[in-house]
Amino acid sequence: MLMGAAITGWGVALPSRELRNDELAESLPVTAKWIRDRTGIEMRRIAGPEDSASSLAITAGHAALTRAGVEPDDLDLVIVATSTPDYQLPATAPLVQAALGAEKAGAFDTNAACSGFLYGLAQADGLIASGTARKILFCASDLLSRVSDYTDPSSCVLFGDGAGAVVIERVDGESRLGPFVLRSDGSGAGLLRIPSGDPFLRMEGREVYRRAVDAMSRSVNEIVERAGMKLDEIDLVVAHQANARIVEAVGQRLGLRPDQVALNIARLGNTSAASIPLALAQASDEGDLENGDHVIITAFGAGFVWGAALVRWGAPIDGQNELVLAGEMNV
């Protein structure tokens, strides 16, 4: 029997503190309007001293498990995508595994920067397809405020903190995840980096913008071609929420309708690997994403690493053609 993978539940976690543009601009040589006009961001969530990549992942992961109806003890794997781990060693995923009580699960981290959710989803799909796992908890959690230089308006105005998690399970029939396009070009590593010995992220914004728009647009077109579909058959494109101008430029280059493009960066900022699951959650809550919809996710991150994937939203109920989803997000 053909076996595939599907997202059966999800959860999110956001720090309680809101940092608005007017407050941020007080210590910068720019105005709140300057920030909004160039990024589309009005506010972002900022982690407090009690927050960490693991704590946010634990909260989001618990919500995802509850809504999927999966017990922690039933998990085969816990995967965490993060660029801001609690420690250099050990990985963050075992901390999440232990806190949730997933005693039978293996655990590992993956780091593809802002493309972390896309790359981790591909890993989870492959692990299920190979028979290695049946149930996987995949969390994407980043606290980029911890590596932001708040004297540098070219970068610090972009970033916020948050986490999103999904439960991925084996299902009968074709996989609802994929095809995937995964690409990289390490020649651009110096354009978006955290140098050794420097605690802060450094970025060449204009070149990153140009490359991000081009790479994500090409990846979406490649996914549509591989899937044998047309762009007007895609219900929603969820791009990494790097900057509203980047997301809008991708939509325009692809000729998408505004209602086909998810955009939630105004209140959350760029949350790195967490941005796509957070955007999926909000789109579902607001009715922009419904059970059975065809979604393309696409991302571009430091490395550079980028790509896209087709996702059929929801999971089949046994013996039926209906779909089931669970989740709730308040922003």
Catalytic residues: 114, 240, 270
- H or E segment at 179? strand 177-184
- What tokens were used for 323? 């779909």
Question: Please, are residues 10 and 327 in contact by the beta-carbon 8 Å criterion?
Answer: yes
Q: What is the three-class DSSP state of 270?
A: strand
CB neighbours (10 Å) of residue 69?
A: 12
Question: Please, are residues 128 and 315 in contact by the beta-carbon 8 Å criterion?
Answer: no
Task: Report in angstroms the alpha-carbon separations of 328 from 14, 43, 68, 282.
Answer: 13, 21, 12, 8
- Amino acid identity of residue 7, one-letter, is I
Sole residue written with tokens 């029997």? 1
Task: Report in angstroms the alpha-carbon separations of 303 from 139, 193, 213.
Answer: 21, 8, 15
What dihedral do alpha carbons 115, 121, 123, 126 form, nearest 10°? -140
Q: What angle do CA 276, 277, 278 make, to 5 degrees?
A: 90
Q: Distance between CA 312 and CA 177 in Å, rounded?
A: 6
Q: Distance between CA 266 and CA 36 in Å, rounded?
A: 8
- What tokens were used for 55? 């704590």
CB neighbours (10 Å) of residue 80?
A: 33
* DSSP class per residue in 19-76: EEHHHHHTTSSS-HHHHHHHH--SEEEE--TT--HHHHHHHHHHHHHHHHT--GGG-S
DSSP 256: -
